[in-house]
Amino acid sequence: MPHPLPILYTFRRCPYAMRARMALRVAGIDVELREVSLRDKPPELLTASPKGTVPVLVLPDGVVIDESLDIMRWALAQHDPEQWLAPGGQMDEFIATNDGPFKFHLDRAKYANRYPGTDPAYHRGEAVKLLLPLEVRLAKHGLLFGNTPSLADIAIFPFVRQFSRADETVLTGLPLLKAWLMTMESSEVFRAVMEKKEGAEEGRAAAK
């Protein structure tokens, strides 16, 4: 009898789900992908994680991991062939800035209609300021923590991509970050996890 696979509830275009899928793929962990329509969440997802956001990883023993960064770290703890965890704690501040202040401003720049009284131009400018330390790092390295990808690159880039796709001018003054984004988008692991599945339903993304 085949051993059951972990189940990953995901949404193709959600940046949180993107980074979780990338970590699982590079770690070589096979999962049963369940693409979620977030307008009609399956009861199994809500049972596993009542907050109803993606990604959610349900392990064969019933353990539930429902934060994308935790899924990444769990996968890489099993197998980290490209040494994404090698830079260690020095990555934490950059990831925390991305997941906290940068995401705060990104949401208000992109989805201003969800936040009454919001000035999207102000939040766009604040988000760009938060990207400046990444541009500085890229002046010294090919990627954020050297010349090979790290957890930080993978954790941060889907959100920079989302920001850039909402307004292609935001990276105009950040040429190294723009080149980094192109490198990340062209990577085999990203292209693989973004392949559209037959019958997958698109809807508005939720997180984390």
Q: What is the pLDDT of residue 8?
A: 98
Answer yes or no: do 96 and 182 share one domain: yes
Answer yes or no: do 130 and 184 share one domain: yes
pLDDT digits (tens, 9 = 90+) for 67-120: 999 999 999 999 999 999 999 999 999 999 999 999 999 999 999 999 999 999
Here the CATH number for the domain that contains residue 154 is 1.20.1050.10
Here the CATH number for the domain that contains residue 66 is 3.40.30.10
Compute the distance between CA of residue 48 and CA of residue 105 in angstroms, rounded to an integer.
30
Nearest to 161 by CA among 208, 118, 102, 120: 102
Phi, psi angles (nearest 5°) of residue 10: -145, 170
- Beta strand extents in 60-155 (DSSP E only): 64-65
- Residue 202 resides in a domain: no
pLDDT digits (tens, 9 = 90+) for 113-165: 999 999 999 999 999 999 999 999 999 989 999 999 999 999 999 999 999 99
Answer yes or no: do 51 and 77 share one domain: yes
Compute the distance between CA of residue 52 and CA of residue 48 in angstroms, rounded to an integer.
9
Compute the distance between CA of residue 159 and CA of residue 152 in angstroms, rounded to an integer.
12
Answer yes or no: do 94 and 56 share one domain: no
Answer yes or no: do 77 and 93 share one domain: no
- Residue 117 resides in a domain: yes
What is the helix (H) or strand (E) element at residue 34, kind and residue range? Answer: strand 32-35
Q: Which domain holds residue 55?
A: 7-83
- Residue 1 resides in a domain: no
Answer yes or no: do 97 and 182 share one domain: yes
- Residue 95 resides in a domain: yes
Answer yes or no: do 114 and 171 share one domain: yes
- Residue 207 resides in a domain: no
Answer yes or no: do 93 and 128 share one domain: yes
- Residue 197 resides in a domain: no
Answer yes or no: do 115 and 165 share one domain: yes
The set of residues, in sequence order, having a beta carbon less than 8 Å from that of 143 and lying 6+ positions away, is 149, 150, 153, 180, 183
- Residue 102 resides in a domain: yes
Q: Is the pTM of this model over 0.85?
A: yes
pLDDT digits (tens, 9 = 90+) for 30-58: 999 999 988 889 999 999 999 999 999 99
Number of domains present in the structure of the chain: 2
Answer yes or no: do 57 and 96 share one domain: no
Nearest to 163 by CA among 136, 190, 131: 131
- Residue 71 resides in a domain: yes
DSSP string across 14-56: -HHHHHHHHHHHHTT---EEEE--TTS--HHHHHH-TT--S-E
Q: What is the pLDDT of residue 198?
A: 54
Helices (H), strands (E): how many in the chain?
Answer: 9, 4
Answer yes or no: do 118 and 170 share one domain: yes
Q: Are strands 32-35 and 64-65 parallel, antiparallel or unpaired?
A: unpaired
Answer yes or no: do 96 and 181 share one domain: yes
